[in-house]
Amino acid sequence: MHFRAASCAHYALARSPRRDCSAAPISPLRAIGNGEQVASNKNPLKGFEVKYEKEMEMSIQLQIEEMPDYLVAKFNGAGTAEEVWRRYKLIAERCNRANKNKLLLDFTEAYVEASLADKYILGEQAQIFARYNVIKSAAVARPEQVDPERFGEMVARNRLVNARVFTNAEDALEWLLK
């Protein structure tokens, strides 16, 4: 018989950003009365195999700020492109709750190595913003982060996401607010 917990997300109490599914070790000592303990090789879970998968710890931090006409999602730290796009739905839901249909994604303080495949997925996953009625998404990044062909932007736009990538916040805001 096998028990498998796919992730901590299945447990109602494990809702913090950092999740640890490891259980306390079972003591090989057994109490027998008068405070004495005897070593025991008995395993109360004999016949069961317990497996777990730890969720990926995210090192990219996300700060969300509401402005009068748009929402700002600022990424900070080093990590992977997957850590970024996995937060798109959270950002889209926040836009929806705040009744904001314009979004500024700020990657200037993020350090992510993104392959061509990663850029494709980042652009493809941006569809979530259109599904949540975000009518414009501007991304601002450092010049060395921006692909000269703007491949990720093209992928998003091919999926009917009104998105542009900029290398300075002023240009991004000007486009976003017009």
CATH architecture for residues 61-177: 2-Layer Sandwich (3.30)
Query: For residue 57, what pLDDT band results from cuts at 50, 70 and 90?
Result: low
Q: Does residue 29 carry a pLDDT above 70?
A: no
28 DSSP assignment: S
Could you read off the pLDDT of 84-111 as tens digits, one per residue? 999 999 999 999 999 999 999 999 999 9
Q: Does residue 45 carry a pLDDT above 60?
A: no
Pick the residue with more confidence: 81 or 50? 81
Query: For residue 128, what pLDDT band results from cuts at 50, 70 and 90?
Result: very high
Tell me the C-alpha distance between 21 and 27, whole Å.
18
Q: Does residue 49 carry a pLDDT above 80?
A: no
The CA-based angle 93-103-150, given to 5 degrees, is 115
Tell me the C-alpha distance between 9 and 12, whole Å.
7
Tell me the C-alpha distance between 170 and 133, whole Å.
24
Q: Which residue intervals of the chain bear CATH 3.30.750.24?
A: 61-177
Task: Give pTM, 2 decimals.
Answer: 0.67
